[in-house]
Structure 1
Amino acid sequence: MASSYRVGVWAHDLFGCFDDVSTCLSTLVCPCVMFGRTAETIGSGNCVICAVSLLVPPVNFVSRMIVRGRIRDSKGIDGSSVNDCLLILFCPFCSLVQEVQECQDMTPSAQSMCRT
């Protein structure tokens, strides 16, 4: 269950993977699709292109950094690129689930299906 929106902090904790079990399982099974949806929700590109970018090792890290930074910027969440970098390197799954959950809370259109 999502916590109330507070300026300056993530609505879901980093280890709040099980706040929404279906999101957690979807991200575990199809991380590329979930990342693509998240990137498209915040306006960082096409769902399919972003999903494929997650499969290319140097590009996936940069893509994750960009998307996480844009989520923080759009919601006024405190943090830094260094912190984002460390989270993506050492806790990639939990940070991706956190990003997905955060974008699902942004708008009703965030729940839409990925275009193929």
Structure 2
Amino acid sequence: MPRPKKCRRVCGLPACREFGPRGMGCAGEPVVMGLDEYEALRLIDLEGLQQEQAAVQMGVARTTVQAIYNTARRKLTDCLVNGRLLRLQGGDVEVCERRAHCPRAGCCLRRSCDKERPED
């Protein structure tokens, strides 16, 4: 029996939840990226954290962050190359209470994943 999925910590929800080609129809079904995948991209590519640091901030193992990051990159590349709509939603995540003051791990307050569910 597989281990239960760990709740992943994210420091805020994205302001925009859908991205796609402008002025033309999108090819195929939308690509759905989980909020944990979005957070991994944000921490590693935008904030410049190492995978180990991102793992601590998200509350998961480094190998988990690596897998999440690789999946997110594949989805993003699919959207860019094939002109598909990218939709950010879902995932087993908890949102940091103090996201404006959360540049590194340690300030996020742990809560049960069931208490806060971002829109699926």
Shared fold (TM-score, shorter chain, > 0.5): no
Higher strand share: 2
Structure of greater relative contact order (alpha carbons < 8 Å, 6+ residues apart): 2
